[in-house]
Chain A
């Protein structure tokens, strides 16, 4: 599947930019500098939006398309930000046959975002992940470190409400 690209406004801080500049300066003269720059930039920003990739391209003196090509080749790179609460819905075999797709649908409906996207307020991001080893609880999802098992779609709104109200 092709990676989703975030269309949320960039909210990088001067501190983050300073860190990125230091990263670029450290790798500038290395061969294959794009890879470590992207890795470390993702640690700073959480994801790799066009603004960050442009800074890397400019700093290394390479084309932006080359940087983008690398960032879309490796699965470790994300082009969308993570929200304060990252929801991972397991689509592994066991969860899938137990109706995980319906759970995922309920979440996308509630939040108005697709997998690999983040809500405009930055509160939730959504990931469709592979087996997390909790097949006994299928279908299962995690919100940050919290695990929710044996889910039915009807439960979804109530769970998300807790997080929206800050009760979680």
Chain B
């Protein structure tokens, strides 16, 4: 590696030649504050928070984008720098809705943290006119409050990185604001509800639509039977809401907390994930045998589904008709479970804890009423962040809770289901089952390492029962766009594609805990969170979906066989083409 010698605050350092000043300082233990900068995503040097002095330079430079060079002398904490950073903050505050006491992002707000760290004492230094600001709660999944927006463009970059790009800066100067085309509310444009903008936002300008109140109301309604299900990835991230290290698996404490919140049953969406694999593997084998539309594409990720409907409607026949694990679990709770327990499904409220804001949209889709009579499969979706807040609201001391187990009626699952939370997990789970079914035996090698890891597009060919199965695993919609364009143009010949909307899969979902940029820029959150899931998979006695005894029971007692009429009624759905503009 090419190294250069520089000095930071008089301290000699040797750093890689392609480093920015920000990276070089970080490697020497100096954390230069940033606000607009998100690594690999938003590197525009606009906010001036990260300014430093470089000897010989005409003015302060933005360290997030300024490359190091041989002999460079940098100062990061001179009075001039601190005064500049403070003034930047004071000017941001002059047009900021400073309702910090009641803001959802209080104590997790980068603007607030920087004001504190830099010792801003007067938030009214530049008081004057406030720009008009919009408040947009038109969608089912998020709220935009531009009175708290600092125009850093991190959300805009996140949206463009998803190849969606429905938000951007409109107007100019004092009137500049982030909005949609022709000032339409977000619900009127081709937003896919992924929530990547929310996790990119440094302040409270973007938040998920909070439904904690709805859950509390249901829990306190004596006529309701309220149950909860938790997605595979929640156990790997919920701990972050309580200050635990990234990648801590808190499955047991999570179950204990949910029980203390008053849910009658605590179920695992992993059951639905195993069920998804049964149905999806069956559908895939059917398509191969009967000449159905290939490549088949997975359907677990509702942000991806909405993307396909808006941007690639011609490929909808390729998307698996399987509902997502959330909706399968919900449908099974309100049919099989309700029947067995003798509970009126109309009285059951299914709450699901999801890493995802698009799930809030998904439950209101058409053809999501498996139990019939207009009974929704899932009633309320809370993101990981909302669950964190609900637990705090109910004063449950999360970190000291004992480890408890899921309720057995729908709490048994396999390692195959656990890894659904990471990119590549669904494909690996499907391959484990497809290989056994096709080979007619229990295949020993069940780890598919080629399709693991953080790359946005992964490809592999597996020889199963004499057939070369060509698969692709894609996460992030920019990558999906690339692969699907090839598929559309006949330049790719995959049999099976897994697509997850969010880069890295559900562990990096738009509903996951928000880590500030100074953590996010220097930590591989996705890898740490995914590792928690792969470790759990490794340690589970059952690692193939079809070996789950509860799944066998569900088919024996209730569903018949994968792909049966009843399975179709309950567990499959339909899609619609939507317009892009």
Contact = CB atoms under 8 A, between A and B. Distances in A.
Interface in A1-42: 1-3, 5
Interface stretch (A51-59, A96-104, A142-150): A51-59
Given A50-B182, A54-B581, A65-B168, A2 B175 contact: yes
Given A1-B175, A5-B182, A69 B169 contact: yes
A2 B166 contact: no
Nearest to B176: A73
Q: Which of A2, A5, A54, A57 has the most CB of B within 10 A?
A: A2
Contact of A50 (B170, B172, B181): B181
Contact of A69 (B132, B164, B168, B189): B168
Contacts of B182: 5, 50, 53, 68
Given A5-B182, A53-B181, A66 B168 contact: yes
B482 to A, nearest CB: 14
Contacts of B167: 65
Contacts of B170: 2, 68-69, 72
A58 B580 CA distance: 10
A54 B579 CA distance: 12
B116 interface: no
Contacts of B189: 64-65
> Main secondary structure on chain A at its contact with chain B?
helix
Contacts of A69: 168-170
A3 B581 contact: no
A73 B175 CA distance: 10
Contacts of B181: 50, 53, 63-65, 67-68
Interface string B464-501: 00000000000000000000000000000000000000
A57 B581 contact: yes
B165 interface: yes
B169 A63 contact: no
A138 to B, nearest CB: 28
Interface in A123-168: none
Contacts of A62: 165
Contacts of A63: 160, 164-166, 168, 181
A73 B172 contact: yes
B165 A66 contact: yes
> Main secondary structure on chain B at its contact with chain A?
loop
B165 A72 contact: no
A64 B171 CA distance: 15
Nearest to A5: B182
A75 to B, nearest CB: 8
Nearest to A64: B181
Nearest to A66: B168
Contact of B171 (A54, A67, A72): A72
Contacts of B93: none
A50 B165 CA distance: 17
Contacts, number: 49
B183 A64 contact: no
Contacts of A1: 175
Contacts of B169: 69, 73
B46 to A, nearest CB: 15
A72 B581 contact: no
A69 B164 CA distance: 15
Contacts of A72: 170-172
Contacts of B132: 2
Contacts of B183: 5
Interface in B172-197: 172, 175, 180-183, 189
Contacts of A74: 172
Contacts of B581: 54, 57-58, 64
A5 B182 CA distance: 7
B526 to A, nearest CB: 26
B578 to A, nearest CB: 15
A2 B173 CA distance: 10
Interface in B561-581: 581
Nearest to A55: B581
A5 B439 CA distance: 63
B186 to A, nearest CB: 11
Contacts of B168: 63, 65-66, 68-69
Q: Which of B132, B165, B180, B581 has the most CB of A within 10 A?
A: B581
Interface string B512-544: 000000000000000000000000000000000
B69 to A, nearest CB: 28
Contacts of A67: 181
Nearest to A49: B182
Interface string B13-44: 00000000000000000000000000000000
Contacts of A5: 182-183
A3 B171 contact: yes
Interface string B222-251: 000000000000000000000000000000
A50 B182 CA distance: 7
A5 B168 CA distance: 17
A66 B132 CA distance: 21
B68 to A, nearest CB: 29
Interface string A55-95: 00110001111111100111000000000000000000000
Task: Please list the 7 inter-chain residue pairs (A to B) with the smallest Cβ-Cβ separation, ordered nearest first.
Answer: A63-B165, A68-B181, A64-B181, A65-B168, A69-B168, A65-B181, A73-B172
Interface of A: 1-3, 5, 50, 53-54, 57-58, 62-69, 72-74
19 contacts: A1-B175, A2-B132, A2-B170, A50-B181, A53-B181, A58-B581, A63-B160, A63-B166, A63-B181, A64-B581, A65-B167, A65-B168, A65-B180, A66-B165, A68-B181, A69-B168, A72-B171, A73-B171, A73-B172
Given A65-B165, A65-B181, A72-B170, 13 more contacts: A2-B170, A2-B175, A3-B171, A50-B182, A53-B182, A63-B168, A65-B166, A65-B167, A65-B168, A65-B180, A66-B168, A68-B181, A68-B182
